[in-house]
Amino acid sequence: MGSWVRTICGRLKQRLRLDVGREICRQYPLFCFLLLCLSVASLLLNRYLHVLMIFWSFVAGVVTFYCSLGPDSLLPNIFFTIKYKPKQLGLQELFPQGHSCAVCGKVKCKRHRPSLLLENYQPWLDLKVSSKVDASLSEVLELVLENFVYPWYRDVTDDESFVDELRITLRFFASVLVRRIHK
């Protein structure tokens, strides 16, 4: 008798997809708490349902925007029978070296133009430079920073983020320059 009840409960659990609901509650606790509070308030204060409709409309708008963002949105697909099938793009023609998009980070990027990505946003990709040249270049960049940036910047603040960004910008400039020389 006990095993029969367990199998029925297991099938019911699979049918209702309670594990998906539990995962949603773990992933979005604030949204689920807000939904639960609005449901309880609607049941207890049904006389003031016309006032609560303002909040229900807000929740419906938030859910609509989340669901309309697309298949890669933050909320899971609520229609379990509908499966999203993306169009197959030729990844070799979009990203010939197999790198991901520099703007969004996705491998199958359909939004950004791939001709701009590899050369304009990541000029250091597939750039062959010997380790001696790289070490010499980084030493020159460090000397430039030590002699021309650190003397006045240490008086302003101790934060190193500006110097790090400047270092990245100088490396970017050097890689663009090397790439243009190779062309």
pLDDT tens, N- to C-terminus, the chain (183 residues)? 567 777 877 776 676 677 777 787 788 788 788 888 888 888 888 888 888 888 888 888 877 776 666 555 555 556 555 555 555 544 444 444 455 666 676 766 766 655 554 556 677 777 787 888 888 888 988 998 899 988 888 888 888 888 889 888 888 888 888 888 877
CB atoms near residue 123 (< 10 Å)? 19
**Residue 141 has which token pair?**
């960049």
Q: What pLDDT, on a 0 to 100 scale, did the predictor assign at position 26?
A: 83
67: phi then psi, degrees, rounded to nearest 5 = -75, -30
For residues 178, 179, 182, 183, the Cα torsion angle rounded to the nearest 10 degrees is -140
In angstroms, what is the C-alpha Rg of the chain?
A: 28
DSSP state of 69: T
